[in-house]
């Protein structure tokens, strides 16, 4: 009878440990989901600014393109919001967001690609391969 009680306690303990592990994974995943949602909102905010501004390809490149060396004024104004919302971006050169604007051939529209990276506190912020990534692509007419 004592042996049965010890086995029951062992099985119960393993079940409790599994539940604690699931809880930790759920908390981690909800944090990841929050940062993905924040990245989506930031990209959509910049795309919305593009829609209400001068939408010619040259104007969009001058004002919004950034992260590849030359940064437009709207990109520079948007960047502090990214630093505030996403962890591991500020001060980490490889995690800087990029905004690429290119002309669509035989059209007056532009193809915009916004790429955001971030790392959580449990990750080293060394390379893009370790960072989380969100990419938004929009065609601006």
Mean pLDDT over each residue of the chain, to the nearest integer: 90
> Is the pLDDT score of 125 beyond 80?
no
Angle at 23 between CA 22 and CA 26, to 5 degrees: 85
**Structural contact between residues 78 and 43, judged by C-beta atoms closer than 8 angstroms:** no
pLDDT given at position 51: 96
In angstroms, the Cα distances linking 119 to 17, 25, 125, 140 are 28, 17, 6, 30
Q: In 3D, which of 95, 99, 92, 94 has the Cα closest to residue 42? A: 99
Angle at 55 between CA 52 and CA 61, to 5 degrees: 115
The overall pTM is greater than 0.85: no
pLDDT for 61-118, tens place per residue?
A: 999 999 877 899 999 999 999 999 998 888 778 889 999 999 999 888 999 999 999 9
């Amino acid at each position: 009878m004592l042996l049965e009680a010890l086995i029951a306690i062992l099985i119960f303990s393993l079940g409790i440990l599994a539940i604690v592990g699931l809880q930790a994974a759920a908390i981690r995943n909800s944090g990841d989901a929050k940062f993905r949602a924040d990245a989506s909102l930031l990209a959509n905010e910049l795309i919305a600014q593009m829609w209400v501004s001068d939408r010619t390809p040259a104007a969009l490149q001058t004002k919004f393109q950034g992260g590849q060396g030359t940064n437009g004024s709207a990109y520079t104004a948007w960047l502090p919001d990214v630093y505030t919302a996403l962890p591991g971006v500020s001060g980490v050169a490889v995690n800087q967001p990029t905004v690429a604007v290119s002309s669509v051939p035989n059209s007056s529209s532009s193809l915009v690609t916004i790429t955001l990276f971030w790392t959580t506190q449990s990750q080293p912020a060394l390379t893009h391969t370790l960072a989380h990534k969100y990419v938004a692509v929009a065609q601006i007419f």
